Amino acid sequence: MKYKLLAASILATMSTSALSATYQLTELGALEGAKYSYVTDVSESGHIIGIANGLYNLPVDIEHIDFSLSLIQNAYSNEVRAFELSDKDITFTLEDIEKNNAVATNADAHSFMIRFLANVSANYQFQKLSSLTAIKYDSGAAVEQTLFDINSPDYPGVTRSVTNFYNAVAEDGTTVGWGSAPFDKIEFTIEEETDPKPWFTRDFIERGIIISESGMEVPLVPQFSEYGGTSQASDIVKTADGYIVVGNMSLGIPQTRQTNITDNCDDKYQPFSTCIEVINNQTTRGIFNKQATKWTLDNAFNITSTEVLGLAFTPYEDEVDFAFISNAFAVNKNGIAAGVSNTRYYDKDTTIITMPVYFKDGKAVEFINQPDGWQGGKSLAINDNNIVTGYATRRVDGALRNKFFYHDIATGTTVYPDSYFTSSSSYGNSINNQGYIVGEGEVGISDSSRRSAAFIYKIGDDKITNLNDLLPCYDMDGTSSYGYSMSEAKVINENNEIFGVATKTVEKRNSLGEVVTDINGKTEYESVAVAVKLSPIPNGTIEDCAPPDAEVYERRSASFSWYGLLLLPLIAFRRVFRF
C-alpha cells in the first residue's frame, strides 16, 4: 500500500538519509545465453559479482548413451504420453536424437535430454550437466567466470559439468567462491564383464578459490585432501597487509565413513572416485568432518595462516562415527566471522542441530536461545560494528518458519523484528555500518499464494518495509503497471544503495533460447529473475498507487499471524547451498 499515510509513518520511524527518497531501479545486465541472473556481492568501490542460471543450449553428448536401454526408452514413452495429454504430437523420436542430432535443432528433443540427464544424475554412467555459472558485472554486461571448468574434449566450449558459486568481492576486486571439479569421461570395465563403458568421474566434490582482479587464481586446498577433500570460500575482506578469507574445509573423515569406503570402494563395479561420490551423497552431512576456517593472505596472495574456527560444541569420545560441520559465511574488518555450526539440541543431548553462530577469539558462539523454540538457522552477514544478521527457525502456527534477526555481540542481545505478518518467513541478508538491514520475506495470505518480497529495515524500528512500496507505481508511459517486482535484497552498501533480484515478464524461451509460441502462433511470456540496483532518489516521494479496493487486502495482510520465486531456480542459493 503506497499511500501518503504509509510514507509519513515510514519517514517518522526511519532515517531520512535512506528512506525520505524513493528508489530508482537499474538492471545490472545479464549473461548472454542465460535465462536468470542474480547478484551475490558488491564492494564499496563498485565491483559487482553474481551468478547466472538457466543456461540455453547446454551441450548433450549423445555418443556415450545406449539408446536401447530401458531407462531411456521408458523416459521417452512417458514423454509421448505427456504430449498426448496436452493434445500435442511429439516432434521427435529417439532415433532422431541418436542419428540426426535432433538435440541441436529441436527444442523438445533438447529439453527431453536435459531432463533425462537430470533425472539420472545419481547414475555416473551418464553425462553430468549444470546450468549454473559465475559472472562478473562490468558496465552493464555480465562476463562469465568459469572457475574450475575446462574446455571439453567432446564438444565445443567448456564441459558445463561444474557447479560454481561466486560469493564475495573485496575492495580491490579480488573475489572468492567455490566450485566442483569438471567431470571427465573415462572408460571403465566392470569386473566379470569384457567391454569397457563410459563413466563420469571428477577429482573433487568442492574446492574454494581466490581470484585476484588480474586473474591470478589461488585454490584453497583443504587440510584433509584425501578423496579430494572439500573447501569453500564464502567471504573476503581487504586489509592493510593483505586479505582475510572465510569459509570451511575438510579436516578428516569419521571412522564409520572410512570403513564404508574400505569395504565398498574396490574398483570392481564402479570407479573408486564414483564410489566416494555415492557414499558422500547417501550419507547425512557427507563423509567429511568440515569446520569453519579463516585464511590470512599477504598482498602477493600467499597464504600466511590458516585458522580452524571450531564447532559450537565438543563431540564426545564415542561420537567419532559421525561427521560434524561448521561454516563461516561472512567476516568483518575486525576478523569476526558469522556462520553456522552443528550443536546439541538443548533438551536432547544425542540430537544434533544446526544453529546460527559467530566465531570470535577462537570460539564458535551460539547465541539463539533454543528453549524459546528455536531449532535452526544461519548467520549470513556481520557489519564492522559486530552486529550479525541472518535467520532462525521455529514453529509458527504449526509450521516451521524462518525469522530474520539481528544480534549485537557487544551487548549479547538478539532481536527478531516483525515480518510482513506473523507466519511470514523472513531472512536478513546484509547489514551496513549504519544499521540498515536488507533481505526478503513472504507476502501473500495463504501458503499456496506466498511469494518473496524484498525489504529494508533500520535497527530500532518496529517492522520491515517492503521495497516495492518505495518503487514507482507505473512504467514510463504513466499507465502500465511497474514492470519489476523486488523479490530479494542481497546487499546494501554505505550509500544505502541496494542490490538484489527482481522479477519481470519477458518473452518465453525454450532450452535452445528460441522464443516460444502457442498453438495459434502467439508469443508466450514468462517471469524471470534479473539482477538489479536500487539507488535512492533525493527528495523523492512515495507514490499513492493502490486501487481503492486494495486497501482492505493490504491492511488485512499486514495483520496476518516466500515460495513463489523459488520456482525461479536458485533464487535463494546462498541460504540453501552455503553449508
Please check whether residue 223 lies inside any domain of the structure: yes
For residues 212 and 332, state if they share a domain. yes
For residues 459 and 402, state if they share a domain. yes
Among 22-31, 349-358, 468-477, which is the least confidently predicted range?
468-477
Share above pLDDT 90 across residues of the chain, in percent, rounded to a whole number? 81
For residues 34 and 76, state if they share a domain. no
Q: How far is it, in rounded angstroms, from Cα 42 to Cα 500?
A: 10
- Residue 35 grid coordinates: 535465462
Dump pLDDT digits (tens) for 177-224: 999 999 999 999 999 999 999 999 999 999 999 999 999 999 999 999
Maximum Cα interatomic distance, the chain, rounded to a whole number of Å: 79
Please check whether residue 137 lies inside any domain of the structure: yes
Beta 348-360 vs 525-536: how paired, if at all?
unpaired
Dump pLDDT digits (tens) for 529-542: 999 999 999 877 77
67 CA to centre of own chain: 35
For residues 273 and 409, state if they share a domain. yes
- The domain that holds 463 is classified in CATH as 2.130.10
What's the pLDDT at 74? 98
Q: Given a cut of 90, is residue 159 above it in pLDDT? A: yes
Q: State mean pLDDT over 354-377.
A: 97
Cβ atoms of 202 and 273 closer than 8 Å: yes
For residues 257 and 245, state if they share a domain. yes
For residues 132 and 105, state if they share a domain. no
Please check whether residue 245 lies inside any domain of the structure: yes
For residues 30 and 130, state if they share a domain. yes
pLDDT band at 543 (very low <50, low <70, confident <90, very high): confident
* Domain edge (last residue) among 70, 92, 125: 125
For residues 67 and 204, state if they share a domain. no
* Domain edge (last residue) among 125, 156, 172: 125
* Domain edge (last residue) among 109, 125, 141: 125
For residues 79 and 35, state if they share a domain. no
Q: Given a cut of 90, is residue 552 above it in pLDDT? A: no
Dump pLDDT digits (tens) for 252-273: 999 999 999 999 999 999 999 9
Residue 302: how many CB atoms within 10 A of its CB? 10
Q: Given a cut of 60, is residue 570 above it in pLDDT? A: no
- Residue 15 grid coordinates: 532515517
Please check whether residue 173 lies inside any domain of the structure: yes
For residues 33 and 80, state if they share a domain. no
Q: Given a cut of 80, is residue 82 above it in pLDDT? A: yes
For residues 104 and 214, state if they share a domain. no
Please check whether residue 154 lies inside any domain of the structure: yes
Give the helix/strand (H/E) hosting 100.
Answer: helix 94-100
Using left for φ > 0, alpha for ψ between -120 and 50, and beta otherwise, residue 229 falls in left
Please check whether residue 526 lies inside any domain of the structure: yes
What's the pLDDT at 321? 83
Please check whether residue 455 lies inside any domain of the structure: yes
Q: How far is it, in rounded angstroms, from Cα 192 to Cα 88?
A: 46
Please check whether residue 560 lies inside any domain of the structure: no
* Phi, psi torsion values for 226, nearest 5 degrees: -65, 145
What is the total count of domains within the chain?
A: 2
For residues 282 and 394, state if they share a domain. yes
pLDDT band at 425 (very low <50, low <70, confident <90, very high): very high
What's the CA dihedral at 572, 574, 576, 579 to 10 degrees? Answer: -170
What's the pLDDT at 558? 34
The whole domain housing 106 covers 62-125
Alpha-carbon distances of 94 from 57, 61, 62, 113, 498, rounded to whole Å: 19, 14, 11, 10, 48
